[in-house]
Structure 1
Amino acid sequence: MDIHAYVPGKAKAEGVADPVKLSANENILGCSEQAREAYAGAAGQLHMYPDSRTSLLRAAVAERFRLEPERLIFGQGSDEVFQLLNQAFLEPGDNIVQGEYGFAAYAIGAYACQAQVRRAKEPNYTIDVDEILKCVDERTRIVFIANPANPTGTWVPFAEIERLHRALPASVVLVLDGAYSEFCNDPAFDDGMDLARTAQNVVVTRTFSKLHGLAALRVGWGYAPAEIAAAVDRIRLPFNISIPGQLAAVAALADEDFQRRSVEHVDRWRPWLAQQLGGLGLEVVLPSAANFLLVGFPKTPGRTAVEAEAFLAGKGLLVRGVGNYGLPHHVRITIGLEEHNRAVTEALAEFLKA
């Protein structure tokens, strides 16, 4: 009962029939038309159990990223991969380490295993390797790092990830959550896949929910050392990825044009929205390397983050309050279509003037 259940981004606004949802970091362009066709084509197989080994998708991911197929873990979103890793490695009294604003799913899974959660300080809303290492002790089993991070959008160069890995005991598993990695194009960034290829204690996770726009189908995966993948497979429930999900994910992975357009859209409108919000006098946490911005609001009554979220909802614009992440004075805004981004800017200008 001490576990705080996950709170998703709002999907409804009172009195608004069809609000614009910018609260869950979904792909505003939708999904690949090829993926949609593959999903529809699976209708004739709904009476069948899916392939428990996700063979088609396993082969597609392995080929695309040059990975050994037997080292892949598949889950209902990367959330399930985190849960499986927690179940495999944690016993009562063990602990995980994550950033103080880290994704809630890490902690929920750890608490469910009766483990402790240690939250390392994040100066400037960014993961700090030295702060992470201060939290590691002989009962630490997993360190979770989202890079880029949610809900802040900040990221750390790969040199810092390497420094962290070198300093961790070999008995600690370093999990690199790459849910938003496709949106970071800085030369200093690396998703860690090559590190995971050779290290015995590194797992990299990815998802089809963000770039590929398949959030409804819940398909995620991880790349792990063979021993870790085999251990996780022992406790993974069978048939966890549906047939429509597997087929749509394979098609989405092949549609590189849709992936390119999705990244280009974020690359264009993320800096524009940041500039506009900054011009209103709001604190935009930069640089965001994901498909959203974290925006800070004054503590002055009438201008707070909670009131801003409610005001935008009244205009049919749903954004995400992140008080449950320890950020009560911020909201997170997904990058929308041009008309959405302009509407948010105009509405917040009106809110701040009022």
Structure 2
Amino acid sequence: MITRPTPKPWIAKIHPYAPGKSTAADGRALVKLSANENPLGTSPAAIAALETHRQDASAYPDPDAKELRAKIAAIHGLDPARIVCGTGSGELLTCAVQSLAGPGDEVVFSRYSFSLYPLLAHKVGATPVFAPDTDLAASVDGLLASVTSRTKVVLLDNPNNPVGSFLGADEVARLHAGLPKDVLLVVDQAYAEYLAAGVDDGGLALAQAHENVLVSRTLSKAYGLAAERIGWATGAPHLIDLINRLRGPFNVTASGQKAALAGLEDQQFVEDSRDHNSAERARFSDAISALGNHGISAVPSEANFVLVRFDGSVTAGAALDALAKAGYAVRHLPSQGLPNALRITIGKTEDMDRVIAELQKLCGDTA
């Protein structure tokens, strides 16, 4: 006898998304280098806009985020009618998969990709397919070889999370060219603002030229607006229509929209964030490379974090514990098949100094 509502069978495969830790096992607050947040904080202009527009919370926000879409379009040379905003890019990725995939279908992504991706497939009863990688990075050949007649969506985070690798425009174009026209390619550019000036994977151009490409971005990273949950996506009109049918109504708050507008105006803050990240990432990677005789290495990264591998006597678990004792939370990745790796967000200069010193100490290397 059935005594309570029965969920769809695929729901049991879903586990809650695990955010980066910010506290130690003993309850101590830790400096959070586990969530890829912006160490420079938020643009003062965006903070001021938040304060001003939170004074009156009685009215619903613009459900279509018209001003925000217009500003995004102006910055990136896009048609605002082909942009949709969401509560972070996560909502938009969810809608994209939901609109095309279901039971019996497949969603393909690289073996080491954003941990949300398999959950997106499970949420709609589709099968997540982990494509073979090349030295942890996404492989175009591996992705294409994983596509079958059941594939509905291919997800590419570029730069990649948690590896930090990046596929250039030629490779992304080759991936798209090799896909059937009825398969959607989603290029998730959450970390695009951290790329060096002039570096582009060509995703936005592909999304404007083709019917089966969607590009998503977020203001959570380089713009420092993670708390406000603001993302956007662009693609062919029929793709934007699908997402608009599925996204939540009034999904981006009124104050969030105003903060995003102010943040988009402050491109100097974004440039400063990129410059800080580039300098500290290079310095941190060099310091890790100097520990190579202990089996520790840094995977080259184009994002705002570095994946550090521990393949010698010092284990990732030992480094995780040592850094926690020193007051730092970093991301251990056994659930993503990387038990010997830590993803470490690039933080403030003084925090990176401390992390380097703690790893040197753990290795018995004080040079």
**Which bracket does the TM-score occupy, shorter chain normalised?**
over 0.9
Structure 1 residue corresponding to 2:162, chosen from 151, 160, 167: 151
1:240-281 Cα shifts (integer Å, max 9, x gaps): 111111111111011011011000001111111001011122
TM-aligned CA deviation for residue 307 of structure 1? 2.0
Contact kept in structure 1, 2:289 and 2:298, CA below 8 Å:
no
Structure 1 residue corresponding to 2:133, chosen from 122, 129, 137: 122
Q: TM-score, normalised by structure 1?
A: 0.96
Q: TM-score, normalised by structure 2?
A: 0.93
Gaps of 5+ in 1: none
Contact kept in structure 2, 1:73 and 1:224, CA below 8 Å:
no
Matches within 5 A, 1:336-347: 336-347=347-358
**Could you say what secondary structure the match of 2:211 adopts?**
coil
**Could you say what secondary structure the match of 1:45 adopts?**
coil
TM-aligned CA deviation for residue 39 of structure 1? 0.5
Distance 1:123 1:5 in 2: 29
Please, which moves more after superposition, 11-20 or 206-215?
11-20
Contact kept in structure 2, 1:181 and 1:191, CA below 8 Å:
no
Match of 1:265 in 2: 276
| Alignment pair present for 1:66 and 2:77 | yes
Distance 1:91 1:145 in 2: 19
| Alignment pair present for 1:289 and 2:302 | yes
Distance 2:278 2:102 in 1: 42
Distance 1:257 1:63 in 2: 17
TM-aligned CA deviation for residue 205 of structure 1? 0.6
| Alignment pair present for 1:194 and 2:205 | yes
**Percent identity for Structure 1 against Structure 2:** 38
Distance 1:145 1:284 in 2: 25
Match of 1:110 in 2: 121
Distance 1:224 1:99 in 2: 22
Please, which moves more after superposition, 208-217 or 185-194?
185-194
Structure 2 residue corresponding to 1:13, chosen from 9, 21, 24: 24
Contact kept in structure 1, 2:291 and 2:297, CA below 8 Å:
no
Match of 1:164 in 2: 175
**Could you say what secondary structure the match of 1:44 adopts?**
coil
Matches within 5 A, 1:20-39: 20-39=31-50
Structure 2 residue corresponding to 1:215, chosen from 209, 212, 226: 226
Residue type at the aligned position of 2:306? L
1:286-324 Cα shifts (integer Å, max 9, x gaps): 320001000001364xx2112211110111011111111
TM-aligned CA deviation for residue 4 of structure 1? 2.9
1:29-80 Cα shifts (integer Å, max 9, x gaps): 0010000000111122211111110111111111111111111121111111
Distance 2:131 2:23 in 1: 34
Match of 2:52 in 1: 41
Match of 2:9 in 1: none
1:127-152 Cα shifts (integer Å, max 9, x gaps): 11111011101111110001110000
Distance 1:205 1:167 in 2: 21
Gaps of 5+ in 2: 1-11
TM-aligned CA deviation for residue 191 of structure 1? 4.6
Contact kept in structure 1, 2:109 and 2:155, CA below 8 Å:
yes
Residue type at the aligned position of 1:292? F
| Alignment pair present for 1:298 and 2:307 | no
What root-mean-square deviation, in Å, do the aligned CA atoms of Structure 1 and Structure 2 show? 1.5
Contact kept in structure 2, 1:284 and 1:293, CA below 8 Å:
no
Distance 1:262 1:250 in 2: 18
Contact kept in structure 1, 2:296 and 2:312, CA below 8 Å:
no
Q: Greater relative contact order: 1 or 2 (C-alpha under 8 angstroms, separation 6 or more)?
A: 1
Distance 1:157 1:173 in 2: 19
Distance 2:110 2:240 in 1: 25
Contact kept in structure 2, 1:299 and 1:329, CA below 8 Å:
no
1:145-193 Cα shifts (integer Å, max 9, x gaps): 0111000001111101001111100000100000011112275642511
Structure 1 residue corresponding to 2:256, chosen from 237, 242, 245: 245
Contact kept in structure 2, 1:178 and 1:191, CA below 8 Å:
no
Residue type at the aligned position of 1:287? P
Residue type at the aligned position of 1:212? Y
Contact kept in structure 2, 1:82 and 1:105, CA below 8 Å:
no
TM-aligned CA deviation for residue 118 of structure 1? 0.6
Aligned positions, number? 352
The change in CA–CA distance for 1:285 and 1:143 in structure 2 (over 3 A counts) is: farther
